[in-house]
Amino acid sequence: MDREIGMKVLIVGSGGREHALAWKIAQSPRVERVLAAPGSDAMGECADCFPDVSVGDFDAVAELARREGVDLVVVGPEDPLADGIADRLRKAGIATFGPSGAAAQLEGSKAFAKAFMARHGIPTAAFEVFDELASARSHVAALPKPGFCVVKADGLAAGKGVAVCDDLAAAEQALEEMMGDRRFGDAGARVVIEERLDVPGAQEASYYAITDGEHIVTLAEAQDHKRALDGDRGENTGGMGAYSPAPVVTPEVERRILREVVEPTIAGMAEDGSPFVGVLFVGLMIDIEGGVKVIEFNVRFGDPETQALMVRLQSDLVPLLHGAATGQLDPDAPECQTVWGEASVCIAQASGGYPRSYEKGKPITGLDVAAKEEGVVIFHAGTKRAADGVFTTNGGRVLGITALGASVAEARSRAYAAADQIEFEGRQMRRDIADRAL
């Protein structure tokens, strides 16, 4: 692995996930320099940022990588992956961690993912796909329990294009917003309507595996909190908090996830002619008997799960990223053995009005005090530094207050102690993150 000493790593993106990746990658003894495009004011503490380089300008990203002698590009967000940034960078001879545009359809199109799972025998909820609002409305009305279903925008909607519906009114509203009002633009022109996996005692979990298209190295699991409000109420968001490990993923459940989901997915993508390179992030429903069903595939690190995972990961992440990007991932190599701290919790703080409309530019206080809490790291998801040096809000999700502890309970206590030191107008956060683990 001597070839990795003195590496330059470019991270594409600017959110909390990318901040956490930059923070972790900068700790690698193999890395000489971390760059970020566009990055953020907060990421500037651990990376050289290039704010004029947009994640959507693939030529500019490639030129930056060439000009700065970058050895590895790590793509954070899903949109550029679905649009083919990895193809563009690999064509330029740049080692890139992230799937091709074809492979990224696993996340870029819910209909594609459901058809893929049906074709390869991967367990998931029953579903139908609709391109017309009238036929979709007729379908939800004809369900055994009218409207009791999950409505998903087919395309990318920043984690917000999912409506878990209890009745016909809720299902019709979700369809009208997605297909009629185009709340999510073209992403909602087609919808997937799924059965509700409403099994008593079942829990969701996020599972991660890094792959070069053939070999697999598993990471730790986490559990996300998608709904905006305590008690899993309110609208779906990009994620209001996460914790790791998730007790629901026992060793036996993990074996089932690998055997029934991860391995057939990697093999199936290769068989279909689109080998998957990068991190496969599987959202799962796990019942009380340990049965697993796929809720969704993601083709990048999660947010805010990545924040929780990165503070737990004690070993070097870079050999895994570089090995996958170069087709040389060796699960048996010493440098690919992962070592994890005991537990972590991430609490997202969001702007008032999120996940719908919100205002920006609200001054944030208490960051310095909060950062002094034991075991705490603060990742910035949507902030900007004002002329006077004060951070202000600049996004829907603003901060990810993340803490490490000897247990989930201790990590949670530390994270909330830090979160309560921070204030900004309209601040919202859930108070029940990690309740299920306790």
For residue 51, tell me if it sits in a domain: yes
Q: Are residues 329 and 276 in the same domain?
A: yes
CA separation for the pair 19, 47 (Å, rounded) = 9
Query: Is pLDDT of 3 > 80?
Result: no
Query: What tokens appear for 428 in the block?
Result: 């919202």
Q: Are residues 343 and 221 in the same domain?
A: yes
**For position 201, what pLDDT does the model report?**
87
For residue 42, tell me if it sits in a domain: yes
**For position 158, what pLDDT does the model report?**
79
Residue type, 88: R
What is the tens place of the pLDDT at every residue in 21-58? 999 999 999 999 999 999 999 999 999 999 999 999 99
For residue 49, what are the CA distances in angstroms to 57, 266, 297, 378?
15, 34, 30, 18
Total domains, the chain: 3
Mean pLDDT over 145-171 rounds to 92
Q: Are residues 174 and 228 in the same domain?
A: no
Mean pLDDT over 141-155 rounds to 95
For residue 3, tell me if it sits in a domain: no
Query: Is pLDDT of 336 > 50?
Result: yes
Mean pLDDT over 294-313 rounds to 97
**For position 184, what pLDDT does the model report?**
94
> Domain end: 52, 82, 98, which one?
98
Q: Are residues 187 and 212 in the same domain?
A: no
Mean pLDDT over 337-350 rounds to 97
Q: Are residues 254 and 391 in the same domain?
A: yes
**For position 4, what pLDDT does the model report?**
63
CA separation for the pair 253, 137 (Å, rounded) = 37
Query: Is pLDDT of 2 > 50?
Result: no
Mean pLDDT over 92-117 rounds to 97
For residue 14, what are the CA distances in angstroms to 8, 53, 169, 378, 394?
18, 11, 37, 15, 11
Q: Are residues 69 and 132 in the same domain?
A: no
Instruction: Give the CATH number of the domain where residue 159 resides.
Output: 3.30.1490.20
For residue 117, tell me if it sits in a domain: no
**For position 1, what pLDDT does the model report?**
42
For residue 402, tell me if it sits in a domain: yes
Q: Are residues 77 and 148 in the same domain?
A: no
Q: Are residues 296 and 431 in the same domain?
A: yes
> Domain end: 170, 194, 218, which one?
194
For residue 109, tell me if it sits in a domain: no
For residue 76, tell me if it sits in a domain: yes
Q: Are residues 183 and 314 in the same domain?
A: no
Residue % of the chain over a pLDDT of 90: 94
Provide the mean pLDDT of the chain.
96
What is the tens place of the pLDDT at every residue in 178-227? 999 999 999 999 999 999 988 888 999 999 999 999 999 999 999 999 99
Instruction: Give the CATH number of the domain where residue 82 resides.
Output: 3.40.50.20
Give the domain extent around 396: 203-437
Complete DSSP assignment for 284-323: EEE-TTS-EEEEEEESS--TTHHHHHHHHB-S-SHHHHHH
Instruction: Give the CATH number of the domain where residue 413 resides.
Output: 3.30.470.20
Q: Are residues 175 and 208 in the same domain?
A: no
Question: Band of the pLDDT at 350, cuts 50, 70, 90?
Answer: very high
Read off φ and ψ for residue 30, nearest 5 degrees. Answer: -85, -15
Question: Band of the pLDDT at 83, cuts 50, 70, 90?
Answer: very high
- Quick one: which of 315, 104, 307 has its CA closest to 217? 315
> Domain end: 78, 98, 118, which one?
98
Q: Are residues 237 and 186 in the same domain?
A: no
Query: Is pLDDT of 404 > 60?
Result: yes
Residue type, 114: K
For residue 348, what are the CA distances in angstroms to 38, 239, 254, 281?
22, 7, 27, 20
For residue 269, tell me if it sits in a domain: yes
Q: Are residues 190 and 208 in the same domain?
A: no
